[in-house]
Structure 1
Amino acid sequence: MSAAPTITEIDGVEVHWRALPGRLRADLIFRAGAVDEAFHTLGTGHLVEHLAFAEVEDLDPDVNGCSGMLTTTFQVEGTPEKVAHQLRSLCRAISDLADGSLPAARIEHEKRILAAEGDVSALGEPAVAEALTVRYGLRGPGLAGVSSRFIEKLTDAEIRSFTREYFTRGNALLVLSGDPPAGLQLPLPEGARRSVPEFDPVPLVLPGEYTTGGEDLVLSFQVPGMSAAADPVARLVLGTLRRRTFRRLRRDAGVVYDIEAGQALQPQSGVAVVIVRVAKTSLPQAAEGILGILRELRDHGVTDADREAAYQEVQDQLEDPHHETVELFDAAEAGFLQAPQPSLQDLGAAVRAITKEDVRAWLAGLDSTLAVGVPAIDLDDEPEPGTSGLVATVMGPLPGPEVTGTVYPVKMFARLAGVPKGLKLVVGESGVLVTDGQFRRSLAWDQVAAVEQDASDPDDVQTTVVGVNGEVIEVPTAVLKGGDRAVDQICQHVPQRRQITTHLRDDRAEHREQGPV
C-alpha cells in the first residue's frame, strides 16, 4: 500500500512530498486556468507561463510548462540543487511580473511570440473542447474550444493584475518526488487560494444535435461533479461502455473502429463526452448503438463481469512500476482542486461495490441533457434547425432579446441574386439582431464577447459579432443597404478592447454555427 505523502509548507506554499526512486521531480501548480479568463483575455495565464520561463537565463531542457482549464503547472526534474535553483528563478520571475519590475518590452516581445504561434487554448481532444463550447458558450469550460485571439491586445495592467491574483503563494501547490532540497526558496507574491468556479450551461434546447467541425461523432451529457463517490462510478460506466462498444459495434457489427470517453468536471456538475470514430455511412447505427448501451446501463446496471473487468484495470495500474509517482502527483492535484478521489488501493474495492442505483444516478441526465455532434455529411446542405437529425432535433439559434432600432434591409440587386428578401439587420440601443424572415439571432450588448473583422479581402471585410453564450451573428455587410454604417454603429456599442481585426477567415470556423442566417 502506498505511503501517505508528507505535507509541509515552504515560504507560504503548501508542499506535498514523498521519497520515491529516480530523479527528483517537482511540479509547481497554480490554481489558474482558462476558466478564470474571458474571451478577450484568453491566454493570459499562458502568457504568464511564457514570461516566467523567459526570465530564467539558464533554463534547462527538463523544465516544462502547461496551461490548462483549471491549473498552470511548471515542472522541473534533476538534481536537488538544480530543482531548487530553477524553482527559485521561476518564482522570482513571477514576482517581478506581479510587482511591475519586469520590463514592458519583455512583455510585448512574448505577446508577439504567442500571437505568431497562433496560441490556442483548446485542451486535449478538439472534439471535447468543441462539445464544451457548445454547452457553455465562450466562458468557463467553453473557452476550451476557442483560440486566444486577443493576445496582442492584452494590457500590462491586465497581465500584472491576473498574476497578482492567481500566481501567488496561497494559490500554489508544490509536489516533490523526494525530500525538499536544502535551502529551497519560493519567493512568490502574497495571495489567497482561488476555488474552482462553477458555470451554468447556456439555455440549449436538449436533447439536440449540432454540426461539428471535425470528423467524429460526439455525444455529451451532464453527470455529477467532483466527488470521491462519483469517481469510481464514472470509471466503471465509461470503461464498460468502451468494452461493450468494442464487442458489439466494432467486432460484431463492424460499425465503429474506435471510441474514447471521459469527463470534464466542475465542483457541482460535469459533462461526460464520448467520441466515436466511425465512417459517415454508419453514423446512424453508431449513434443508436452507443445510446443503446448507455441506456441499457442506466436501466439495468452493470454485471459482475463488468465490475471485475474494472477491478482488473485498477490492479494492472498497481502493477505499473511508476504508479506510486503518478498517484502522488495526481492525488495532490486533486486535493488541491478540492476534487477528492480514492487511492488506487481503495478504487478497486469501490468499483466492486457499485450498485444499480449508483449507475442510474450517474446516468440520470443522459437523455434530458444529451447533445450530439455530427460531422458534416454534405457541406452544401447543412441540416435545418428544428428538423430531425440522427437521434435528436437539430439545434437552432439560442434565445435572444427583441431589438428595435435602425433597420438595414437587403439591397435590390442582392434579392435578384437570390438573397432572401426578408433578410435584415437591426441595430439598436439594446443590442443587435439579424433575421432572414425565418430564423433570427440576437444579442444584447452586455452579452457581446467580441466584434471580429476579417480583412483577408480589403474590398470585402467580413464582420462577426460573437456572443458570450457562443452565438455568432455574421453581418452580411455587402448585401445590406447601408451595410458599412451598420458596422460602424455596432462598433460604437462594443468597447474597442473587444474589437479585433484578423486576416484569416478560417479563424471563425471554431465558433458554433446553427442556422442559415
Structure 2
Amino acid sequence: MRRSASAHDPGVQRLEIDGIPVLHRPGPRRTTMALVFGVGVRDETFSTRETTHLVEHLVMGTLPKSSLRSNGMTTVDSTHFHATGRPEAVASFIEGVCAGLRAMSLDRVHTEVGVLQAEDCSGVGGFPESMLAQRYGLAGPGLAWPGGAGPEYLRDEDVLAFARRWFVAGNAVLVCHGELPAGLRLDLPPGPRPEHAPAPRRPQPVACWAKSWAPGVGLMVSADGPWDPALRLAFDVLAERVQDVARTQRGLSYSTGVVTTETVRDQRDLVLGVDAREGQEGAVATILWEQWRSLCADGPRPDEVAHAVDALREELDGADEDDLAMTDLVDAALAELLDVEPRPCDAVLEAYAAVTPERVRDAARAVWSSALLQVPEWSEFAGLPGLDRWRTCGWSQELPAGRVLKPSALARVLPGPGGKRRVVLSDGGIAHLDEDGDVHAVGWDQLNTVFRQAPSVDGAGKQVDGGALVVVGGNACMFRVDADSFGTKAVEAAAAHVRQHAPHLRWLTPRPARWMGHTDQVPVLPRP
C-alpha cells in the first residue's frame, strides 16, 4: 500500500488498494466511505433510461441488513455507494458492494423494477434537468429530464452489459474520511474506464425564451473555458435580486436555487430556478429577465458582491466538518473520474473573495447570447423584447404529405382542443399535429425509440385496447398515438407503418405484468 499527499489537498492521502485509487482524509473515530463510479444518467439512452439506477438497486439488494447509515445514489454523471459507522462495518459494506458487482445477479430484477416504479423513477427530473434537456436534447445531461419508457422496459442483457462496461475497476475511486480499516479489499470487476459518448449542446446564437412542462421559472447560461467564480457569483447576486423583488416586494415567489452542471472539462451550465405563485409565472419570468439584463448592463454593487461572499462563508462556517470533508473528497474523486477541475470548498471561498463587481459584470456579459429563460407550458407568458422563441424539440409549422389519421368523430365534437390533433404517415417518417397546432415530425433517420405502452383496462380489469404507440425522435420530439383519441385501428396502422419503414428498429417491450405485481399500471410519458 503506497501513500502520497494529494496534489490538490495536502491533508488528503492518496493510495491504491487492488488497483483502485483511494483518497483518504484522517478524521473521527466513525468512518465514512463512498465508492464512486464515473457513470450516470448521461451514459444511458432514452430506451435504456434508469439502467444505472437499476444496477445500483440490484447491488444494494444483495447486501445483508445492517445498522449502518448506508445508501446508493445515482446522479447525472456518477453513482455512489456510501456508508458511515464503525470502520470494520463500513469496510464490510464496501466489500459487499464490490462482490455484488463482481457477481451481478438478476434474481431480484423484477422486484427491484417494481421498487423503482414505486419510487417513481421513471418520472421526469426536476427543474434544472428540464433546462438541460433544452440545451442537450435527448443525449447526455439532457436525459435527466425525460423519464424514458420506464424501468419495466429494460432488458436483462442490456442491464448486465451496462454493468460490465461501466462498473469496473478502471472507473472507480474510493474516498474515506476517518479510520481506513486494515485489510480492506476492493475486488471489483477488471476493466478500463470507458469513454463517454459526446453530447454537444444545441446551437443557440442569441438569447431566447422557452416553455417546458416543468413547474417554475428559470434562467440558464452556458460557459466554456476554466471555471470563473465571477459567473457563479453573478448568479448568486441574481438570485438575491429576484427574491428581493418577486418575494419581498411583490409576494409572487418563495425561493430560488442555483445549480451548476459540469460533465465535461471546461464546459458548464448554470441554472437559476425560481418558484412562482400559480398564475404568476409570467410576472416572475419578467422580473428574472429584467434583473439579469440589469446585471449584465451595469454589474452588481460592491455590497451585493460582499453579501454573496459572506453568505458562502457563513454556509461553510455553519456546515458539519465531516460533511465538508466528504464534499471535498467526493469532488476530488469526480474530478479524477470525469477529468474535470476539482474545487475544494476553501478554494471556492478564496476565489469568491477575490472577485470584483467589474469581473461579475464582464462574466455575465460573456454568456449573454447563451441565456435561456424558461416558463411553464401553461403560462400565458408570450416573450419579451430582445428574446427569440426557443423550441424544445424539432418543431415545425407544416405537416408533411401522407396518410392522415384523425381523432374519432366523438373526440372531434367534444369540447376541448383534442379534436384538432392529427397524425401523418409519410414515406419520410411520422408526424403529429398537437392541440396547439404545432407539428412534431420524426424522420426515419431521426427515430430514436418506439414502444407500445401497457394496454388500458376498464374497472373490471378487462383490456380495452392494445396500448398507445409512443414515438420518440432524436430531435426530442415525442408523441403518442392513443386509442382513446384516434381509435384502435389508427394505432395499429401507425405501428405497422413504422415497422414497414424501420424494420431494424428495436421495439421496447415491457416485462410480463405477472412479474411486476400489477395488471393495470400504464407508464406515463413526460410531455416534451
TM-score normalised by length of structure 2: 0.81
Q: 1:308 to 1:422 in 2, by over 3 A?
A: closer
Q: Equivalents in 1 of 2:287, 2:398: separation in Å?
A: 41
Farther-moved stretch of structure 1 (272-281 vs 39-48) = 272-281
Q: Cα deviation per residue 1:70-91 (whole Å; 9 max; x = unaligned)?
A: 1110001222211222211110
Report the counterpart of residue 444 of structure 1 in structure 2. 443
Matched ranges for 1:368-407 at <5 A: 368-374=370-376, 376-377=378-379, 388-389=382-383, 392=387, 398-399=394-395, 407=403
* SS of residue in 2 equivalent to 1:507: coil
Report the counterpart of residue 333 of structure 1 in structure 2. 333
Contact residue 196 and residue 266 of structure 1 kept, 8 A: no
Matched ranges for 1:478-489 at <5 A: 479=486, 483=490, 484-489=492-497
Q: What letter is aligned with 1:344? A: C
Q: 1:59 to 1:167 in 2, by over 3 A?
A: farther
* SS of residue in 2 equivalent to 1:51: helix
Farther-moved stretch of structure 1 (31-40 vs 442-451) = 442-451
Report the counterpart of residue 466 of structure 1 in structure 2. 472
Report the counterpart of residue 180 of structure 1 in structure 2. 180
Q: Cα deviation per residue 1:125-150 (whole Å; 9 max; x = unaligned)?
A: x2222222333233221221233534
Q: 1:113 to 1:350 in 2, by over 3 A?
A: closer
Q: Cα deviation per residue 1:20-73 (whole Å; 9 max; x = unaligned)?
A: 124100010001101001111111111111121222234444221101111110
Q: Cα deviation per residue 1:326-383 (whole Å; 9 max; x = unaligned)?
A: 4433432342333324433333332233242454334533455414123625xxxxx6
Q: What letter is aligned with 1:370? A: L
Q: CA deviation at 1:482?
A: 5.7
Q: CA deviation at 1:490?
A: 2.3
Report the counterpart of residue 259 of structure 1 in structure 2. 256
Contact residue 34 and residue 121 of structure 1 kept, 8 A: no
Give the unaligned 5+ runs of structure 2: 1-7, 458-462, 512-518
Q: Equivalents in 2 of 1:505, 1:226: separation in Å?
A: 45
Q: Equivalents in 1 of 2:66, 2:247: separation in Å?
A: 48
Q: Cα deviation per residue 1:102-144 (whole Å; 9 max; x = unaligned)?
A: 3x43434433443454433755xx2222222333233221221
Q: Cα deviation per residue 1:180-213 (whole Å; 9 max; x = unaligned)?
A: 2100001101122245654223467961321434
Report the counterpart of residue 245 of structure 1 in structure 2. 242
Q: 1:289 aligns with which of 287, 308, 318?
A: 287
Q: CA deviation at 1:481?
A: 11
Report the counterpart of residue 4 of structure 2 in structure 1. none
Report the counterpart of residue 70 of structure 1 in structure 2. 77
Report the counterpart of residue 515 of structure 1 in structure 2. none
* SS of residue in 1 equivalent to 2:366: coil
Farther-moved stretch of structure 1 (232-241 vs 363-372) = 363-372
Q: CA deviation at 1:281?
A: 4.7
Q: CA deviation at 1:312?
A: 1.8
Q: Equivalents in 2 of 1:71, 1:82: separation in Å?
A: 24
Q: Equivalents in 1 of 2:131, 2:374: separation in Å?
A: 9
Tell me how large the CA RMSD over aligned residues is.
3.6
Q: Equivalents in 2 of 1:86, 1:60: separation in Å?
A: 11
Q: 1:226 to 1:165 in 2, by over 3 A?
A: farther
Corresponding position: 1:50 with 2:57: yes
Contact residue 233 and residue 360 of structure 2 kept, 8 A: no
Give the unaligned 5+ runs of structure 1: 378-382, 513-517
Q: Equivalents in 1 of 2:231, 2:520: separation in Å?
A: 43
Q: Cα deviation per residue 1:313-337 (whole Å; 9 max; x = unaligned)?
A: 3432443351642443343234233
Q: Equivalents in 2 of 1:242, 1:253: separation in Å?
A: 15
Report the counterpart of residue 511 of structure 1 in structure 2. 527
Matched ranges for 1:91-102 at <5 A: 91-97=98-104, 102=105
Matched ranges for 1:49-198 at <5 A: 49-97=56-104, 102=105, 104-120=106-122, 122-123=124-125, 126-194=126-194, 198=198
Q: What letter is aligned with 2:287? A: G
* SS of residue in 1 equivalent to 2:254: strand
Contact residue 404 and residue 428 of structure 1 kept, 8 A: yes
TM-score normalised by length of structure 1: 0.83
Q: 1:93 to 1:363 in 2, by over 3 A?
A: farther
Q: Work out the number of aligned pairs and report it.
A: 492
Q: CA deviation at 1:480?
A: 7.7
Report the counterpart of residue 380 of structure 1 in structure 2. none
